[in-house]
Amino acid sequence: MIPSFSKNTLSTAMTLAVFCSACAMPLAANAESVLSIAMTAADIPRTSGQPDQGFEGNRFTGIPMYDALVGWDLSSDKGATPLTPGLATSWTVDEADKTKWIFKLRPDVTFHDGSPFNAEAVVWNVGKVLDKSAAQYDPAQVGATVSRMPTLKAAKAIDAMTVEITTTEPDAFLPYNLTNLFMASPVQWQKKFDAVPAAVKDPLERSKQAWNAFASEASGTGPFKLSRLVPRSRLEIVKNDHYWNPARVPKLDKVVLIPMPEASARTAALMSGQVDWIEAPAPDALEPIKARGNTIYTNVQPHIWPWQFSLTEGSPWADKRVRQAANLCVDREGMKGMLGGLMAPAQGVVAKSSPWWGTPTFDIKYDPDASRKLMQEAGFSESKPVKVKVQISASGSGQMQPLPMNEYIQQNLKECFFDVQFDVVEWNTLFNSWRLGAKDASAHGAQATNVSAATMDPFFAMVRFVSSKALPPVSNNWGYVIDDTFDDYIRQARTSFDPAQRDAALAKLHTRMVDEAVFLYVAHDVGPRAISNKVKGVVQPQSWFIDIATMSKE
C-alpha cells in the first residue's frame, strides 16, 4: 500500500494557509512586478544549461534562461505546438548526405554576460555533452541530454554564423531533438574554470567545480537572467532587457520559483497569497481555489502517464496476455472522476485524433471479465495472483497525482489477480533510474516504472521506448523491448524526410505498440495549473511548456 490521496486536502491546505499567510513575504509592498511559482519538483532544477527534474526543469529553468537552436512556438492555445526558429534562423539537411545538417545562426545575439553567441559557442555546447576530451564535458548534464538526442554525433563551425551538425545515421527527428540542447556561455564558464584551484588536477573534477560555480552565476541567452539561487529553496530570475526577440522581452521584473512537491502545501501557498501560481493543484480544492480569485488553466497535452513494463527474463510482463489483462482492468473513467475531470483516458501513446494513431486491433477499455479470462489463460487466479513491483514517485514533472492514481490502479488490478507493490522514490531519482533500465540496481527489482512522458515528437512519443538502439543507458527503453518489426518501422520513419511518409510509418509503429501492450496506458494529462487572476497574458498551449516571458502581473 501507499498513502491514500487525502479526502481532506482542502482542510489541510486551509490550515497551512493560515500559517503561510503569516510568514509569507507581502509582495504587494514591493514595487517590482514579481511572479511567484510553486513547482511540483522537490528541488530547483539544474540551472547550468541542461535542466534536470524532467520537463518541469525545461519549463522553469531551461526555456526562461536559455535558448536552443530550435524552439517551440508557445504563443497559441490552439492546435499542436509547432517548432519555431530559435538561435538558428534556418536549417536544411544535405540532400547528398542526410547525416549532415546546416544551421544558419541568428546574428547579434549575446549571452547574459555580454559575450557573443556564434558558431563556436554551438560547437562548445555540443562538446559539453558529447566530447569526453573537452574541458567543459559534464557527465551531470549528459544523462538529461544525450538520451533525448541519441543520434547527435558532432558539430563544426563553417563560418561565424553557420554550423554543420552531423548525426550517426539519417535522422529526420533531429530538429525536434535539438529543442533540448540549451546554449550556455563558454566565456562565463571559462571564467569559472580558470578560478578552480590549481591543486585540483583531475579534469572531470575541475569541470565539475566550474559547472557548480557557473550554476550560481549562469549565463544563457534567454529572456530571464539568474539573480539568486538557494538550492532546495528558491530561484530568482530577472528580466533580460536586451533579449533578442522583442515579442518576448519580459513584462515581469522578476520570477521566483519555489520547489513544493506536496499538493496540499502548494494549494495552501496559493490561497494564502504566498505564491501566484501552482502546478498540479489538488483536485478536491479546485472550487475553493477559483473562489479565492484564481483561474484553473488546462489544455490537451502531448503526454502519456503509463506504467512502462519490463520484458526482461523472469518479468511477468513478458507475457503479452498479462500486459493486455492489466490494460483491460483499469477503470480510467473512474480515475478521471477521482481527479476532478483533470485527465483524458488513454488508449495508446497518442490520441485517436493523431496522424500517428494507426489501426490498432486491441481495444483498450475497462473490461475486467476479459482481463480475468486472460489472466487465467496465463496461469493466474484469485488464489494465485501475479506479484508485481512498480517504481513510482510521490510527485514530479508531468506525474499528475501519482500516489492516488497508483493506489487506484492497485485496487483495480487486485480484482484481476494482480498483487501490486510499490517502490516510492524521489522524482529525480526515478527519472535518473529511467535511463539506467530495469536491469540496473536503481530499479530495486521493479518490473515496471511509472514515468510520465512527453509525446510531442516521434522520438519522445515512441521511438525511445521500443528501439533496440535506445536500450539503457542510451535512452529510455527501460524495459528492454527488442523487436525487429519495431526497429523496421522506426527506420522507415527516421529516414523519411517527407512528412506524410513519416506519419505513415509512425502510424504502423503506434499500432504495434498498442497491440503489443508495451505500456499500461492510463492517462493523458491536461496540464492543470492554478494562477492568480492578477496574472495577465497567460496562454496555456497544447504543450508541456508555457511562456512566462509574455505574462504580466497587476
Range 341-349 average pLDDT: 96
The answer on 388 and 318 residing in a single domain is: yes
- Evaluate whether 127 touches 136 at the Cβ level (below 8 Å): yes
Give SS3 for 417: coil
Residue 2: all three cell numbers together: 501507499
- pLDDT over 70 (residue 279): yes
- pLDDT over 80 (residue 16): no
Range 139-164 average pLDDT: 92
Q: What is the pLDDT of residue 396?
A: 84
The answer on 387 and 439 residing in a single domain is: yes
Instruction: Say which residue the cell 569559472 belongs to.
Output: 192
Rg of the chain over Cα atoms, rounded to whole angstroms, equals: 23
- pLDDT over 90 (residue 1): no
- Evaluate whether 285 touches 10 at the Cβ level (below 8 Å): yes
Range 7-14 average pLDDT: 46
The answer on 415 and 509 residing in a single domain is: yes
The verdict on residue 498 lying in a domain is: yes
- Evaluate whether 166 touches 126 at the Cβ level (below 8 Å): no
The verdict on residue 196 lying in a domain is: no
The verdict on residue 15 lying in a domain is: no
The answer on 321 and 278 residing in a single domain is: no
The answer on 291 and 272 residing in a single domain is: yes
Residue 485: all three cell numbers together: 518489426
Query: What gap in Å lies between CA 365 and CA 15, rounded to an integer?
Result: 40
The answer on 60 and 117 residing in a single domain is: no
Domain boundary residue, one of 163, 186, 209: 186
Q: What is the pLDDT of residue 202?
A: 96
- Residue 385 burial (CB < 10 Å; 0-12/13-18/19+)? middle
CATH of the domain at 281: 3.40.190.10
The verdict on residue 49 lying in a domain is: yes
The answer on 123 and 108 residing in a single domain is: yes
pLDDT tens by residue, 311-343? 999 999 999 999 999 999 999 999 999 999 999
Reported confidence tier of residue 7, pLDDT bands at 50, 70, 90: very low
b/e sequence 468-505, b meaning 16+ C-beta within 10 Å: ebbbbebbbbbbbbebeebbebbebbbebeeeeebbbb
Task: Tell me, letter by letter, the H, E, C secondary structure of 334-350.
Answer: HHHHHCCCCCEECCCCC
> Which CA distances in Å does 67 have to 91, 144, 221, 235, 370?
16, 16, 6, 18, 50
- Evaluate whether 161 touches 104 at the Cβ level (below 8 Å): yes
- pLDDT over 70 (residue 12): no
Any bridge partners for residue 401, and if so which? none
Query: What gap in Å lies between CA 448 and CA 465, rounded to an integer?
Result: 13
The answer on 140 and 96 residing in a single domain is: yes
DSSP state of 416: T
pLDDT tens by residue, 425-450? 999 899 999 999 999 999 999 999 99
Query: What gap in Å lies between CA 450 and CA 423, rounded to an integer?
Result: 10
A 10 A CB-CB count for 368 gives: 16
The answer on 482 and 430 residing in a single domain is: yes
CA–chain centroid gap for 373, Å, is: 37
Query: What gap in Å lies between CA 486 and CA 185, rounded to an integer?
Result: 40
The verdict on residue 11 lying in a domain is: no
- Evaluate whether 383 touches 428 at the Cβ level (below 8 Å): no
The verdict on residue 424 lying in a domain is: yes
The verdict on residue 282 lying in a domain is: yes
∠ CA 356-362-367, nearest 5°, is 130
- Evaluate whether 239 touches 223 at the Cβ level (below 8 Å): yes
The answer on 433 and 375 residing in a single domain is: yes
DSSP 225-275: EEEEEETTTEEEEEE-TT-S-GGGS-S-SEEEEEE---HHHHHHHHHHTS-
Give SS3 for 165: strand
DSSP 435-483: HH-TTSGGGTT-SEE---EE-SSHIIIIIHHH-GGGTTTTSS-TT----
The verdict on residue 207 lying in a domain is: no
The answer on 290 and 346 residing in a single domain is: no
Which strands, in side-by-side order, build the sheet including 529-532? 224-230, 234-239, 254-259, 34-39, 277-279, 529-532, 294-297
Q: In the chain, how many domains are there?
A: 3
- pLDDT over 80 (residue 24): no
pLDDT tens by residue, 481-511? 999 999 999 999 999 999 999 999 999 999 9
Residue 343: all three cell numbers together: 485527465
DSSP 345-388: E-SSSS-TTSTT-----S-----HHHHHHHHHHTT--SSSPEEE
- Evaluate whether 400 touches 56 at the Cβ level (below 8 Å): no
Domain boundary residue, one of 139, 169, 186: 186
- pLDDT over 90 (residue 5): no
CATH of the domain at 363: 3.10.105.10
Give SS3 for 317: helix
Query: What gap in Å lies between CA 541 and CA 543, rounded to an integer?
Result: 5
- pLDDT over 70 (residue 17): no
Q: Which domain holds residue 293?
A: 30-65+222-297+529-553
Q: What is the pLDDT of residue 343?
A: 95
The answer on 545 and 506 residing in a single domain is: no
Q: What is the pLDDT of residue 303?
A: 94
Instruction: Say which residue the cell 504566498 belongs to.
Output: 274
